[in-house]
Structure formats: structure tokens, C-alpha cells
Amino acid sequence: MQILGRRSVASVLAILVNIACGVAALTLALTVVVIAVLPFVTGPVEVDAGWLVVGNRMTIPVSVTLDSGAHRLEAPALGIARAELHDLAGALTFPVEFGFFFLANAALLLIVMSLALWVLIQLRAVLRTVRDGQPFVAPNATRVRRIGIAVIAGEVVRTAIVYAENRYAMTHFRADGLGFEAHVEPDVFAIVLGLIILVIAEVFRQGTRLDEDQSLTV
């Protein structure tokens, strides 16, 4: 199968991204409806999904530490006398009040979902031009640059959200034998990926300029 043009890899990817855009738009619309209805729901319905509130319970990501000694393990069959648990992460579910914390999480969830939909729309537009055999059109450099910036910004937002949720758990919850931590831990790979996409955007810009120069020469 060829890479560019119709009935190509680019064409298949364009179809998949188009479907993803529809699913993301529908999910965003349903989320808005669910969040609007939540304050009126009183039943004990619960769904375990990060930052999702259903009924009267909420789930947030947490980083967990164990008390001294509790994190030490052994494996006699393997001849291992000491192993340690660390960097534990999980999800914390708890009853939630419909106040600032709920509204802040709802707003952040909508922002993240809207950003993801916007990136998919930009990517769909790029893939359509690639499918049509015209990748070096002026708008593509801008679209790819937007995707790169969105990837970096999305990782910054994700890091901030996780830190805020971990901090909330650390300052509000207590349990015997364990504690909660809050660290700023960005995904370096995601940031590097965003930078790579920005470089590709510059390649698109230069390619567009060369294509335009060639057209004028002809």
C-alpha cells in the first residue's frame, strides 16, 4: 500500500482520525450533559475513572508511600531476602461535595477533552491534504505547529492536574500504614515529542516555501 494519495496509509489514517473526532465530540457533549445533571443525582452510583464523578462519589489519582518496613518484601523461593516497593500510584475514590473542588475538576476535564478534540481536528485537516497528495500547503505548517504546542501544553496541564490532585489527597486524607505524596513529574517523552512536532512544522513551512517557489519557476 502506498503512503500518500487515495487508498493509501494516509487515507486510512484520515478515516481513523475522522472517526476519533466524532467519538471525541460525542464524548465531550455527553460529559457536559452529565456534569450538568450531577448536582441533582443522589444515588450511590459509582464509576472508577480518573476525574470522573458519577452519583455522589469521585475518583482522583494518588501517589502512595508506605510506613517504614511495610514496603519491604522477600522472595525465599528466589533467594531474595529483601525487595522494596516504591513509586506506588493508584486511584482514590471518595464522597464528594458539589463545591469548588468538584467544579474545578469538571472545568479541567472539559478543558482537557476540548484540547484533545482540537488537536484531532488539526491532525484531520493535515491528513486530508496528505491524502490528496498536497501536503505542502500553507495552512499545514500552522496546523502542525499548533499540534506541537498543544502536546507540550497538554503535558504541562496534565502534570499540574496530577500534582493538584495528589496534593489534595495528601492534605485531606489519612490512613494507618500509608501516606500520600505530591511531586511534579512531567512526562519528558511527551515534551520531547511536542518539540519534535514543532521541528516537523518548520519542515512543512520550508517545504511549502520550496513548493511555491517551484510553482512560480514553472
Domain boundaries, the chain: 9-47+98-217
pLDDT (0 to 100) of residue 215 = 60
117: which residues sit within 8 A by CB, 6+ positions away? Answer: 21, 24, 25, 28
Angle at 200 between CA 140 and CA 147, to 5 degrees: 60
Calculate Rg over the CA atoms of the chain: 23
pTM listed for this prediction: 0.77
Q: Provide the residue-wise pLDDT of the chain in tens; the chain has 218 residues.
A: 576 667 777 788 888 999 999 999 998 898 888 777 766 665 544 443 444 444 467 788 888 887 765 556 777 887 787 777 777 888 888 877 677 777 788 888 888 889 999 999 999 999 888 888 787 888 888 999 999 999 999 999 889 988 988 999 888 888 877 888 888 888 999 999 999 999 999 888 887 877 666 665 55
Position 50, amino acid? G
pLDDT (0 to 100) of residue 192 = 95
pLDDT (0 to 100) of residue 53 = 47
